[in-house]
Structure 1
Amino acid sequence: MRLSFILLISLPFSHCSIRHVHPIELTIQSGSIRGEYLRQKGNDYAIFKGIPYAAPPVGSLRFQMPEPPARWRGVMNATQYSALCVQKREGLPSHPERSQAHFSEDCLYLNVFAPTQFTNDTYPVVVYIHGGKFQYGGASDLSQQAILDNFVSRKIVFVSMNYRLGPLGFVSTGDSSLPGNIGLWDMLLALKWTKTNAQVFGGDPDNILVMGNGAGAAAASILALSPKAEGLFHRVLLMSGSALSPGAVRETAINATWNLDAKLHCRSFNSSQLIDCFRKKIKDEILNFDRPEPDEYEEFVPIVDGPGGIIPEPPERVLKRSKLKHALMIGTTKDESSLYVYEKNINVSAIVSDVDAGVYAKRLTNTTEKISNKQLVQQACIHEYINTKVDPAYSETILQHSVLKMFSHFWYDAPSSKLAEYYLNRSLPVFLYSFDHVSENFYDIDRAFHGVDAMHLFNIEPKFLHKRKDMNWKLDERVTEIFSELISNFARLGSPTPINSGYAFNWTSVELNELNYLSITDSPQMEVGFRWQGHVFWNRYVAQLEDVDVGNLHKVAALEKSLGDFQLATWMLLFSTLFFFAILVGLACYCTRKESEDDDL
């Protein structure tokens, strides 16, 4: 009877390794915390969840910069994820742990996953910033098992954080009352917390890598340029995003903030009244903000907040002036925009002519703030991506793929290669990659779409994947193993393939005029010319078009028209003169002959 009971209990776990869990206590700067000591697959882990890195941003601290948490007595339980920061529910990725998640404004917590210490060695620290367009997402979206398997088992201390999102994180009146970038200040405080407390978890405070995907990558890139974050980390990994990504940084959020004031019927006369009114509103009133004229950009994102702020100048100006200090790993997926067209319900298969494709060139240029000379760039896009692909001998799919490339190059690829160039010009090591592995387990999208590299690293199952195929999981696992090892090497040593790494390839730093990169598949190899078409077109040719003074073009066009009219009038006058001259010559000849005939008579 006892044997049967034991077998019954063990059946549900027969496919898993044995897990041993017991409490573990550590003391950080703010007080003592109790986490979990976990032994699994022959490895030992220390797991702490829901550690406060800032005071709850509620009451008088709502819409204010974060403040350090108060010290506590006793031992704080740190075994459960905190609430996610409040956000709009649509667009959230679907994940098994998400069904248990709850949302709150009291959300400024982080999580630490560390190898247990049996020696005095210290380990590199990886701080991950989640994506979500600065509007949604959270640290608990990442699978704990994936973090342990892909990072901590490789002797990495892994830190993930929440930060304020949307209007609650990025409203701004453009003055001292509400300067903006609150969400970025949250991240900054979390990084300070990490550097201060890293050694408690076995981490090396002088070897910290900041990484992120999408908006998280843009945030990491912004912080790498900010004087406020100087000395807080040492390496950067950007996955499909950067400070140069279109829409990542706006000049201001003042108009959006005052539009929100009107939406909430605050009728404020100044910034102080606006903040007082906002603090009285419930979170749902603030979040349910419909933009009056929506485009491809979010309203509430990081802004240029001027001297003393996190982003004192536009990122590209900072890149031209500042002394960059971080080694950089940066890359994009092979088919970034295939997810964009999926979410926007764009029927790519319906693109069968240059006219169809031209609609999307117009859509790209007309709905994006980054492009000023829209008509010029639109015509250039049509020439580069559409006209050159229109040939009766070509398949329609070539044109469709070219339209997808146009979006990918603009939104992700060209900004990444441009940022890489800035770092290379400062003689910093840059490791460029393209995630080219296409999983056979996705029914919906058979391309390497935006975020698929993060999906492999953190075992994320987003909402748009409704079905999976039971085939070739081993290929996905191999790609994940390789990518995780490369990142861990970069975090530890500053090189993804150090000597004796055991790989058949050597991931070398980028050469400026070659843009050499690693193609990440189950058999990675070095390639040359990272998205060369997009790099040359957007970063060189379009940059020159944007420098063209359209006003002067109008003047030139007007002068050309005037000159054309003048030339036409001149030619008409000349023609008329010649015509009348011919008539006069004819008349003279006629009269002379007539006189001669009269004399003969």
Structure 2
Amino acid sequence: MCYIVRMCLFKSAAIFFSTLIFVLCNHHIHDSKSKFHYKHKSRVDYKASEPFLEVKVEHGLVLGRKINSIYGFNGIPYAKPPIGKLRFEPPQTPNRWQGTWNATFDRNQCIQTELLEQLSLPSLSGSEDCLYINVYIPQKPDKRTLLPVMVWIYGGGFITGNSSYDLYGPDGLVDQNIIVVSFNYRLGIFGFLSTGDDVAPGNIGLKDQIFALKWVKKNIKRFGGDPKKVTIFGESAGGASVSLLVISPLAKGLFQKAIMQSGTAICPWAFSRTAREAAFKVGARLNIRTQNSRSLVDQLKNVSADSLQSQSLSVLAELLFRDPLNGLIFAPVLEHASEDAVIHDEAYESLDKGNFNQVPQIIGYTSLEAALLANISPLVALFTILLNFTPSRLVPLDMNADETQLDTIGRRIRNFYAGSNGSILFPSDNLINYLSDHFFVRPVQKTVNLTSKYVTTYLYRFSYTTNLAAKGAAHADELPYLFNSDRNSTDDRLIKKCMIKLWTNFAKYSDPTPDNENTCGKVTWKPLKPNDRSQMYYLNINRTTTSGQNPSREAIVFWDNLYRQYGNRPFNTY
């Protein structure tokens, strides 16, 4: 009976974490009442009387249009459609087009499976023909006065997301005399298939991102942008992507600053530990019976996109059931060392040794990243019981701890979050705090600690929430204050003004609060001091934005001591 109960609890926990992954990945897309108004549209509406603008890029003329106070060029091809034999292959230079390319509406998003409503059944959408880029400018191009450029990389757990104007309209950023660029990159198995060898080394989605940045470097001056003043920024998987590009030698010279929101390369979810297994499991579900990488990939190229997406999602769920705490399934991987590899050394070790593109950085997180779990509390209770049976499951895999010590470490983690006499994660606040620290706070702060030894690094915590009863800001809660949204209370407007000013000041001056700048109540955001953990400066963004030191200190000290005592390097994530 005990065995049966335990198996039921394991299954419940698997369902819980699969739900968690989908909620976190889709939260900023589907919470339309309070965040964004997101709809699938083939084109952005515009009036025929509104002005249009033509710009000549490397591969031909593009036609943009006025949107409110800015100009937008949507859906410009930056690579050939990755279809047919180009599926799973690195992006290729697009063909020149005849005439003028209509860039007045958003093009296809990349294939993905979405939740139509929170916790509802998934729905397949998108196309393999999806590698398009958008450029938003505040005025007609003037090559005499080049403007700073901010390139946005969307999140979504590497399985969902898009760069549409509906979702990420950047009017507020562009109004600060900034050019904003966004683009689609391949997702799920289409962007992150890896056989763990040179046949399909992986990271195609990241190679799309690098290809898009190369397009920016070649073309942005034609829109009035400065290719030597490029800031890349992203949230969640987008933040982890930014961090990986900071590490990648292939991205050297493509940007000069970086902003990572709620995600870095050493977050435990940002790295796949089961990529090869997942690839062959998908093949098996499609009746491809082989252990040969070349045979597998060649046959997968002939499978319909719908079948491939459907079966890959099934494999994703199966493998997350087995281990939901230690990495997404179709996600970045370490490649074999080669001139084409995006990343081939452990992310933690690269940052620790200074082997990365050394540019100024802003890095941060929300004050209660996993707060969304409050919406699925019945599953929280089941997971609580499971972890009481097996506290060793709380130990991060990347700690590389001795197997004989896992139970001891797990009990220490349980006691830290629940007390020596408490049930590990009951009430649910304990689970929320543990998951917030495990997935975000611990790795983000460690990233800051590592990078600040070499480059100017600013740490923030976003704490503002419209619900005064809420205990903290959840994952993606900052996005409505950077992009177009229906948030319009007095406090909302102040937070939006503050966030946009901080981010654009950084893009312009490498300093979010330059001298004599009345930003967020004249607060000064200090960068971290290298090698001084006792003075971890940060900015707390809230109704009253303040500077402080050492956020979440107790938890950070606990985890650092745990890694110091039981961890065995090299680390990849943390």
Distance 1:363 1:277, change over 3 A: same
Return 161-170 or 285-294, whichever deviates more: 285-294
Distance 1:363 1:379, change over 3 A: closer
Cα displacement (A) at 1:156: 0.8
Cα displacement (A) at 1:361: 8.4
Cα displacement (A) at 1:271: 2.0
Alignment of 1:538-577 (within 5 A): 538-547=559-568
Cα distance in 2 for residues equivalent to 1:538 and 1:271: 39
Cα distance in 2 for residues equivalent to 1:222 and 1:74: 38
| Alignment check: 8 A CA contact 2:392 2:411 kept | no
Return 374-383 or 256-265, whichever deviates more: 374-383
Cα displacement (A) at 1:333: 0.5
- Counterpart pick for 2:398 among 365, 370, 376: 370
Distance 1:357 1:285, change over 3 A: closer
Cα displacement (A) at 1:269: 4.7
| Alignment check: 8 A CA contact 2:415 2:422 kept | no
Cα displacement (A) at 1:399: 6.0
- Counterpart pick for 2:475 among 447, 450, 473: 450
Query: Which residue number corresponds to residue 555 of structure 2?
Result: 534
Give the aligned residue type for 1:81: D
- Three-state SS of the structure 2 residue aligned to 1:35 is strand
Cα distance in 2 for residues equivalent to 1:397 and 1:418: 24
Query: Which residue number corresponds to residue 47 of structure 1?
Result: 72
Under a length normalisation based on structure 2, what TM-score does the superposition of the two structures give? 0.80
Query: Which residue number corresponds to residue 589 of structure 1?
Result: none
Query: Which residue number corresponds to residue 406 of structure 1?
Result: 434
Cα distance in 1 for residues equivalent to 2:441 and 2:166: 25
Distance 1:422 1:523, change over 3 A: same
Give the aligned residue type for 1:105: E
Cα displacement (A) at 1:337: 1.2
Query: Which residue number corresponds to residue 232 of structure 1?
Result: 254
1:115 aligns with 2:138: yes
Query: Which residue number corresponds to residue 67 of structure 1?
Result: 92
- Counterpart pick for 1:516 among 532, 537, 556: 537
- Three-state SS of the structure 2 residue aligned to 1:491 is helix
Cα distance in 2 for residues equivalent to 1:420 and 1:526: 16
Distance 1:88 1:541, change over 3 A: same
Distance 1:344 1:390, change over 3 A: closer
Cα displacement (A) at 1:284: 1.7
Unaligned regions of 5+ residues in structure 1, if any? 1-17, 462-469, 549-601
Cα distance in 2 for residues equivalent to 1:398 and 1:276: 49
- Counterpart pick for 2:513 among 456, 475, 497: 497
1:190 aligns with 2:205: no
Deviations 1:463-520 (A, max 9, x none): xxxxxxx9x8221121111011100000110000001211421111023322111110
- Counterpart pick for 1:205 among 213, 220, 227: 227
1:387 aligns with 2:419: yes
Distance 1:234 1:457, change over 3 A: same
Cα displacement (A) at 1:32: 0.5
| Alignment check: 8 A CA contact 1:92 1:136 kept | no
Cα distance in 1 for residues equivalent to 2:232 and 2:378: 34
1:338 aligns with 2:371: yes
Distance 1:269 1:506, change over 3 A: closer
| Alignment check: 8 A CA contact 2:141 2:224 kept | no
Query: Which residue number corresponds to residue 30 of structure 1?
Result: 59
Give the aligned residue type for 1:59: G
Cα distance in 2 for residues equivalent to 1:215 and 1:69: 26
- Three-state SS of the structure 2 residue aligned to 1:450 is coil
Cα displacement (A) at 1:360: 9.6
| Alignment check: 8 A CA contact 1:111 1:160 kept | yes
- Counterpart pick for 2:114 among 74, 81, 89: 89
| Alignment check: 8 A CA contact 1:251 1:314 kept | no
- Counterpart pick for 2:176 among 137, 151, 154: 154
Cα distance in 2 for residues equivalent to 1:138 and 1:361: 38
- Three-state SS of the structure 2 residue aligned to 1:458 is coil
Deviations 1:101-147 (A, max 9, x none): 96110000011111114752111111111101001111117546x41
Query: Which residue number corresponds to residue 437 of structure 1?
Result: 464
Alignment of 1:110-509 (within 5 A): 110-117=133-140, 119=142, 120-140=144-164, 143=167, 146-148=169-171, 150-251=172-273, 253-289=275-311, 290-291=314-315, 292-293=318-319, 294=321, 295-296=323-324, 297-308=327-338, 309-321=341-353, 322-340=355-373, 342=375, 346-347=379-380, 359=388, 362=391, 365=394, 369-373=397-401, 374-387=406-419, 400-426=428-454, 428-440=455-467, 447-459=472-484, 473-503=489-519, 504-509=522-527
Return 320-329 or 519-528, whichever deviates more: 320-329
Deviations 1:305-354 (A, max 9, x none): 12121011110121233154111101110111112453575447x99xxx
Deviations 1:25-56 (A, max 9, x none): 00001110001034x4xx4x221000000000
Cα displacement (A) at 1:278: 0.6
Distance 1:363 1:34, change over 3 A: farther
Deviations 1:238-269 (A, max 9, x none): 11000000021235611111111111111135
Query: Which residue number corresponds to residue 585 of structure 1?
Result: none
- Three-state SS of the structure 2 residue aligned to 1:330 is strand
Cα distance in 2 for residues equivalent to 1:171 and 1:154: 39
Cα distance in 2 for residues equivalent to 1:302 and 1:244: 11
Give the aligned residue type for 2:417: Y
Cα displacement (A) at 1:359: 3.4
Cα distance in 2 for residues equivalent to 1:130 and 1:69: 23
- Three-state SS of the structure 2 residue aligned to 1:127 is strand
| Alignment check: 8 A CA contact 1:123 1:156 kept | yes
| Alignment check: 8 A CA contact 1:436 1:521 kept | yes
- Three-state SS of the structure 2 residue aligned to 1:306 is coil
Computing the radius of gyration from Cα coordinates, the structure with the larger value is: 1
- Three-state SS of the structure 2 residue aligned to 1:370 is helix
Give the aligned residue type for 2:226: D
Distance 1:83 1:411, change over 3 A: same
Unaligned regions of 5+ residues in structure 2, if any? 1-46, 570-574
- Three-state SS of the structure 2 residue aligned to 1:56 is coil
Higher RCO, Cα 8 Å, sep 6+: 2
Distance 1:300 1:318, change over 3 A: same
How many residues end up aligned between the 2 structures?
A: 499
Distance 1:165 1:412, change over 3 A: same
Cα distance in 2 for residues equivalent to 1:492 and 1:361: 50
Return 396-405 or 68-77, whichever deviates more: 396-405
Distance 1:179 1:440, change over 3 A: same
Cα displacement (A) at 1:23: 1.3
Cα distance in 2 for residues equivalent to 1:359 and 1:168: 38
Cα displacement (A) at 1:304: 0.1
Cα displacement (A) at 1:178: 1.2
- Three-state SS of the structure 2 residue aligned to 1:154 is coil
Cα distance in 1 for residues equivalent to 2:107 and 2:241: 22
Deviations 1:448-473 (A, max 9, x none): 10110123322469xxxxxxxx9x82
Query: Which residue number corresponds to residue 546 of structure 2?
Result: 525
Give the share of equivalent positions with the same residue, in percent. Answer: 29
Deviations 1:182-204 (A, max 9, x none): 11110010010011111111111
Cα displacement (A) at 1:535: 1.7
Cα displacement (A) at 1:411: 0.8
Query: Which residue number corresponds to residue 559 of structure 1?
Result: none
Distance 1:161 1:323, change over 3 A: closer
Cα distance in 1 for residues equivalent to 2:233 and 2:76: 20
- Three-state SS of the structure 1 residue aligned to 2:175 is helix
Give the CA RMSD over aligned residues: 3.0
Deviations 1:345-383 (A, max 9, x none): 5447x99xxx869639838616x6435443232111122
